[in-house]
Chains A and B, each alone.
Chain A
């Protein structure tokens, strides 16, 4: 039984390494929706003194090769026991946006990319503060602030990378600058943490995300997506499809057909 399990494991590992598993299917470029989980949400409880738990799923789908419309959603539970108060903040959030690949895919099999993108985020959450201790010359008091249902809208600028470590399995990270747009007002306290944004105290909130993703390879093609043109000066002969001296485009081949098999 152990031997059978080891054999299956070995087969899975071997099939994961492209160099060891050459098949005819590799002449195709496979694309499809990618769904994953943000692992950093599970690391947060170990990085902060407060109890901060949550999860986040992320999904994207390629559009015209280099654009990736993205949807992300998650939940967060925050319980912060400070010496002079106890703060709870729980909520759900979602983000939509687009990532844009800024590097060139080298071959049909190459799905690694570096991206910039933006998100619009919306969060519905509540906050509650108990056992607030205050004292002065006159007396010491303990008070509570009841649960307050709130919401927030924000924008994000994103920079990151995603790479295909095993066939259809991706690993990636992103750094995010978050710009709160509208947050429900509370006369007693501005929430110092918002699900989906993170800590809000002082300056622009930054966040990071480290995730693993699985791509469902349901579309296939034989073309490498062209890099998105970012404008700027045009240089004669550079990336010119009709230039017979440009090796990227197969020299004098007619009809603009591209010889991608040169990468193989």
Chain B
């Protein structure tokens, strides 16, 4: 009995000393999934999206020169401000859009660290945009794994302006 007690104790200590390593298996990217819609029968042939006041090389978020009707685009939101602005160039016409949001920082895991979680509360936009519909106000690290045709916002462009 005592022999087993000691042998098993050593095995228990060895078992307990094992760990799974300091690895991160989860995403910490929080991106707002956006789809675009152009009223009428027109196509979105070219699309360029940048952050507002971000004009340096490498600041372009999206360049898509193919038909974009069925695509969705992940866009980052500000970590410190309560709204984020984007400049959208659709078929050569430029518009701006602001999304209002609140943000909390949330732990993803011990080894991945923290990521921002947002709740979208409203929007503002220039005249080339008809409306912005918030379909899912919660933006977190799981937003980018949404199913096809599922998004956080839909931007409806005015066909007359594009």
Contact = CB atoms under 8 A, between A and B. Distances in A.
B123 interface: no
> How many A residues are at the interface, by size bracket?
35 or more
- Nearest 9 A-B pairs (CB), nearest first? A189-B107, A84-B113, A137-B76, A163-B5, A112-B1, A173-B9, A208-B16, A136-B76, A47-B17
A150 to B, nearest CB: 14
A138 B106 contact: no
Given A137-B51, A189-B106, A192-B107, A49 B13 contact: no
A136 B31 CA distance: 10
A3 to B, nearest CB: 32
A249 interface: no
B79 A161 contact: no
Interface string B46-84: 000001000000000100000000000000111110001
Contact of B16 (A40, A83, A133): A40
A47 B79 CA distance: 36
Contact of B109 (A165, A201, A210): A201
Contact of A141 (B13, B61, B76, B80): B80
A188 B78 contact: no
A133 B51 CA distance: 22
Interface in B2-19: 2, 4-6, 8-9, 12-13, 15-17, 19
Contacts of A188: 104-107, 114
Interface string B97-118: 0000000111101110111100
A40 B110 contact: no
Contacts of A80: 110
A48 interface: yes
Contact of A48 (B8, B19, B105): B19
A147 interface: no
A112 B2 contact: yes
Interface in A80-128: 80, 82-85, 112
Contacts of B104: 187-188
A171 interface: yes
A172 B5 contact: yes
Contacts of A173: 5, 8-9, 12
Interface string A4-31: 0000000000000000000000000000
A210 B17 contact: no
B22 interface: yes
Contacts of A175: 12
B30 interface: yes
B114 A85 contact: yes
B111 A161 contact: no
Contact of B110 (A161, A171, A192): A192
A139 interface: yes
Contacts of A139: 78-80
